[in-house]
Structure 1
Amino acid sequence: MAKPRMHLGFDFSYTHMGGRWRMPGAWPGRHFPDVEMFEEIARIAERGCLDMVFSGDGTGIPDTWRGSPDAAIEWGISWPRQDLNPIMVAMSRVTKHLGFGLTYSSTFMHPYYMARLMNSLDHLTGGRIAMNLVTSTRKSDAANFGFDELMEHNSRYERMEEFVDVCRKLWDSAEPDAMLWDFESGRVTDPAKIHHVKHEGKFFKVEGALNTPPSPQGRPVLIQAGGSPRGIRASAYVSDYVFGPDMALARQVKHRAALDQALVDLGRDPATVGILWQTPIVVGETEAEAIAQRERLLTAIPQEAVGAYLSYNNGYDFSTLPERFTLAEVQEKIIAAQASPIGFVHELSLALGAGTEISRDTFFEHGVKSATSYDKTIAGSPSQIADILEEAFEATGSRGGFMLGHTVSVPDDLIRIVDLLVPELQRRGRFRTEYRGRTLRDNLQDM
C-alpha cells in the first residue's frame, strides 16, 4: 500500500533580510529586489517538484525598539520589502507547475479589492496562486493604514472571517462556464451565470459581482496561520490549507487535534484540510556540514538588530527591560497592548517557566537564537532530516507537509533541499516525482 505523501513549500520571506544576504552561499554581488534572483528560486523549486514558494509580508518598518526605525533600517530587519505580487508573476512566467503564496492583511485590506486582485493573479499564473491571510499585530503596520491602535485580538479574527465570506461570494459570482466568447454571435458572457452580490455585515458593505472571468481554480487557495484558540477556530473557518507554527512536536500534535475539532464543529471534514508546518532547515551531505552552516546564523546580526526584530514581532519595546524580571510580567504587558500573545515571550515562558526570574542578558542570549531561527532550525544529512519530517508527518495525521525555509543562504541551501532532501523523500515514497495536477489546488489535493 502506498504511503501518504507530503507536500512541500519553500518560504523565501527572509532570504534578503537579517544578514542572510551576505552569508556564504548567497548570491555574490546581487541583492534584493533583483527579479532574476527570484526567477532562479522558482526554477530551482520547480525542479524539485515543490508545491509552492511562499512569502510573508508586512508594510510597516519595525520601530518598536527604542521607539525608532533606525536599527531595523540599518541592519535589514523586516526591511526592505516590496509587494511581491508582480515578482511572483515574473516567477510564474519561468515555471509551469509551481504554486505561489502571497500574504495580505485582512485587518487593513478591503475584500473586494483583494478578491479581484487574487482572481487576476490566478489567471496570470494559470491557476497557481494562494492567498495567505494574516491578522496584523504590529503597530507600525496599523499606522500605515491610519489606525492609532491595534484592533482587539478577537475582533481581528471576526473581521477576517467576514472578509473571507465576502471574497467567497465574489469569487462565486461568476459560474465556471459563464464565459462564452462566441465568435459567431459576438456574445461574451451568459448573464444568467453572473450573480449579484449584496453583503452588509459588521465590518464590510459590498455590492456587485466581480467584473472578472471566473478563477481557473474556482477560488484561489486560502492559507491561514492562527495559533491562539481563537486563531485556530478562524483558520478552520478560512483555510484550504493551514500554515502551522514551528514548535515542538508534542505541541504540533495538540494543534492538529484542536484544528480537527474546530473543523468538525464547523461541519468540515478534517481529512480535507492539511497543515504545512513551518520548518527552518539546513541540509548538508553530512550532519557536520549542515551544523557548520547553521552556526553561521549566530553571526548574522548584532544585538541591536536582535532587539529590533523581537520588539517588532512581539509589540513590546524590549530595550526597556529592567536588569531582572519575570516573563509573566512582560507577557501581561504584551497582551494589554493587543499584540500577539503567542510570540517569543510566550515560547520562552513555556521553556523556562513564566514565573522564573531571569536577567536581561539571559533574555537576549535566547533572543538571538529566536531572531535568527537558530533555535528551531533543523540541521542534518538528508536521511536525518527525512526521519524527522516523517515522524512529524505521521504524528500529525499524515495530512499536509512542511513549509521549508529560513535557510542560512539562498540559493545554495535551496539547491541542497532540492538535490539532497527531495530525492531521499522520493526514495521513501513520501514525495512526488512529477506534478500531476493542472492547478495549485489540484497539486495540494494530490496525496
Structure 2
Amino acid sequence: MSGMHLAFDLSFTHTEGRWARRGSWIGRDFPDPKMYMELAQTAERAGIGMLFFGDGTGIPDTWRGSIDAAVEWGVQWPRHDMSPIIAAMSTVTEHIGFGLTYSSTFMHPFYVARLLNSLDHVTGGRIAFNVVASTRSADAANYGFDTLMAHDLRYERMEEFIDVCQALWSSVAPDAIIRDRQTGRFADPAKVNTINHKGEFFSVRGPLPSIPSPQVSPMLVQAGNSPRGIAASARFADLVFGFGGSLAGQQRHRRMLDEALAAEGRDPANVGILWATQVIVGRTAEEARARREEVLSFWSEEAVGAFLSHNAGVDFSRLPASFPLGELKRQALAAQASPSGLIGTLLAEHGEDYEMSRTEFFEHGWTSATGLDHTLCGDPSSIADALEENFAATGSRGGYMLSSPLAMPSGLADIAELLAPELRRRGALAPRYPGGTLRENLAV
C-alpha cells in the first residue's frame, strides 16, 4: 500500500460562522479568489493531494418553510460555482489537484463534460469530478422540480450521465490532433466520432468539440453510501468519498464496496475511500479544546434547525414533544430525501420504535450540525495516532477528506502546518506528488 492520502474539503470555509471566528481573514472575504489561492499554496507545501469543493444550489428552506434562518446565520450559503476559483488556484500551484461537484440529477452531461475537459486543460491534468445524486428540495426547486426524483432513479440517471460523459471524453482520440503546418491539416476526421447516445434520460449526438485533456477523463469521485449508491461507485468511481463516524460503519462501507467492485470485475485494491473527517488541531491539547469551544458558541437552535432540516429533508421545527424515530424515517422517505445523516445515525443506535423527546433530538442535532460528533481534536501526535489506527482498520486504501469548523484560513492552515508534517515524519503519508496528473498522484 502507498500510504494515506489527504484532501481538504473547502465546501464550507465561509459558512456557519467561520468567517467571524478568531483566525479569520480581516479585510478579505468570500468569494475573493486570493483567499483560496493563498490556501492552495499552503496546502501544496504540505503535500495535500486535493482541494475539494462540494456544492449545493439551493438556499436551505426546509426549516419553517423559509430561507430566513439560513440567510440570517449564513448556514450552508452562499454557494458559488467554484470552477473559476479552481482555475485561479491552478495558476499559483503545480501539483495539487482540485475536486469539483456537479449534480447528475439536474445538470446535462454534455455541458459538464465540456467544462471539465477545459478545466483539466487549464490545470494540467489536476481535475476530479465529484458526481452527486441530489437529495435536497431547495436545489430541485431551482431546476423546475416540484419534488425530488425517486432515490434509485437518481442513481440510474447518474450512471447514464457518466456513460455519456465518458463517451464524449473518448469521442476525440488522443492522437486525433495533427497540426501539420506543411499541409494545414489540423486533425484526422477518422479519429473524431459521434457517440449517438439515446437513453432513458439523455439524447446526445456528440462528439465533444474539444481537444482531449491531459487525463482524457477527469478522476471520478462518488459519495453514495446506500446499497444503490455503492453499486454506482463500483461501476465507475476512481475514488470514493466516505462518511466518517463509527468504525463499524466505515468497515461496512469498505466491505460492501469491495464486494460490488469484484462483481463489476474491478480490483478493490485500486479504489480508495477518502473518509470525511473534521479536525481541530492545536499545538497542545489544551489549545485544541479551547478552539473547539469557539465552535459551539456560534450555534443557536435556529441555525441548527436550518442545517439539519435542509440536509434531512424534514422540517424539524414541527417536531412534537416526543415521537418514534421511525416517523422521521417515514417523513424523509415521503419527501424522497435520504434517511441517512443524523436520522440514519439515530436509527442505527436506537431503532425505529425508540421514543425520542424533542429536547433529546436537538441535543444530538447540536453535535451533528457542528460536526463535533466526528471531529478529531487534539495535538498533532494524538490526531496522527487516531488516523493511523483508523486507516489500518478500514483497509489502508485511500485516506481522509479533512475539514475544519474553525476560521478560514487558520483552521486548515494548522492542519497543513502541524498535522501533515507529523504524519509525513512517521512515514504514514503516500509519496508526495509522484505523477504528473491527479489520477497518478492519488493512486492507491
Interval containing the TM-score (normalised by the shorter chain): over 0.9
* Alpha-carbon distance in 2 for matches of 1:117, 1:242: 22
Q: Quote the Cα distance in structure 2 between the aligned partners of 1:396 and 1:182.
A: 52
Q: Is the 8 A contact 2:117 2:216 kept in 1?
A: no
Q: Among residues 27, 39, 44, which one is paired with 2:25 in the alignment? A: 27
Residue 338 of structure 2 corresponds to: 340
Gaps of 5+ in 1: none
Q: Contact 1:241/1:274 (CA < 8 Å) preserved in 2?
A: yes
Partner of 1:411 in structure 2? Answer: 409
Shift of residue 97, structure 1, vs aligned partner = 0.6
Determine the structure 2 residue equivalent to 1:65: 63
Aligned mates of 2:341, 2:377 — CA distance in 1? 23
> For 1:269 and 1:174, how far apart are their aligned partners in 2?
28
Counterpart in the other structure of 2:233 = 235
Q: How far off its partner does 1:30 sit?
A: 2.6
CA contact (8 A) 1:137 1:150 kept: yes
1:15 aligns with 2:13: yes
Partner of 1:186: 184
Q: Which amino acid aligns with 1:209?
A: P
Q: Secondary structure at the match of 2:442?
A: helix
Rounded Cα–Cα distance in structure 1 between residues aligned with 2:440 and 2:26: 37
Partner of 1:76: 74
Following superposition, the deviation at residue 184 of structure 1 comes to 2.0
| CA deviation after TM superposition for structure 1 residue 81, in Å | 1.3
What's the offset of the Cα at 1:432?
4.4
Stretch of structure 1 that moved more, 360-369 or 138-147:
360-369
Q: Which moved more, 1:137-146 or 1:323-332?
A: 323-332
Once residues 64 and 352 of structure 1 are traced to their aligned partners in structure 2, the CA distance between those partners, rounded to angstroms, is 25
Distance in 2 separating the partners of 1:30 and 1:422: 26
| Alpha-carbon separation, structure 1, partners of 2:324 and 2:85 | 44
What are the Cα deviations for residues 239-263 of structure 1, in whole angstroms up to 9, with x where unaligned?
1100001221121011000000000
CA distance in 2, matches of 1:294, 1:348: 23
| Matched-pair contact (CA < 8 Å) for 1:290–1:380 | yes
1:99 corresponds in structure 2 to 97
**2:361 counterpart of 1:363:** yes
The total of aligned residue pairs comes to 444
List per-residue Cα deviations over 1:280-316 (Å, max 9, x = no partner).
1111112221122122211122110110110000001
1:2-401 alignment, distance < 5 Å: 4-401=2-399
User: Does the residue aligned with 2:194 lie in a helix, a strand or coil?
Assistant: coil
For 2:424 and 2:205, locate their aligned partners in 1 and report how far apart those are by CA, in whole Å.
48
- Check the 8 A contact 2:404/2:411 in 1, yes or no: no
RMSD (Å) for aligned C-alpha atoms: 1.2
Q: TM-score, normalised by structure 2?
A: 0.98
Residue type of the alignment partner of 1:228:
S
> Could you tell me how far apart the structure 1 residues matched to 2:381 and 2:336 are?
43
Q: Deviations over 1:384-428 (max 9, x none)?
A: 111111112111211111100133122112221112111111111
**Displacement after TM superposition at 1:343 (Å):** 2.0
The 2-side partners of 1:319 and 1:401 are apart by 37
Cα distance in 2, alignment partners of residues 248 and 292 from structure 1? 25
Give CA-to-partner distance per residue, 1:170-211, whole Å, 9 cap, x none.
001111121112222222112122122111111111112101
Q: 1: CA distance between counterparts of 2:390 and 2:68? A: 40
Task: Tell me what 1:441 maps to.
Answer: 439
Contact 2:277 2:403 in 1 (8 A): yes
User: How far did 1:165 drift?
Assistant: 0.5
The answer to whether the Cα contact below 8 Å between 2:384 and 2:423 also exists between their aligned partners in 1 is yes
Q: Is the 8 A contact 1:44 1:414 kept in 2?
A: no
* Residues in 1 aligned to 2:55 and 2:3: alpha-carbon distance in whole angstroms: 29
CA contact (8 A) 2:277 2:375 kept: yes
TM-score by length of 1: 0.97
Asked whether the equivalents of residues 49 and 432 of structure 1 are also in contact (C-alpha less than 8 Å), the reply is no
Which structure 2 segments of 5+ residues have no match? Answer: none
Answer with 121-130 or 323-332: which moved more: 323-332
CA displacement, residues 217-275 of structure 1 (integer Å, 9 cap, x when unaligned): 12101100001111111111131100001221121011000000000111111111111
- Given that 2:129 and 2:221 are in contact with CA atoms closer than 8 Å, whether structure 1 keeps it comes out as yes
- Please tell me whether the aligned partners of residues 127 and 217 of structure 1 are also in contact (alpha carbons under 8 angstroms): yes
Q: Which amino acid aligns with 1:69?
A: I
In structure 2, how many angstroms separate the alpha carbons of the residues matched to 1:45 and 1:427? 17
**What does the per-residue CA deviation read over 1:87-125, in whole Å, with 9 as the maximum and x for residues that have no partner?**
111111111111000111000001111111110110011
Would you say the 8 A contact 2:3–2:428 is kept in 1? Answer: yes
What does 1:416-427 correspond to in 2, within 5 Å? 416-427=414-425
Larger CA deviation: 253-262 vs 181-190 = 181-190
Q: Confirm or deny: 8 A CA contact 2:295 2:405 kept in the other structure.
A: no
Deviations 1:50-81 (A, max 9, x none): 11100111111111111110111111011111
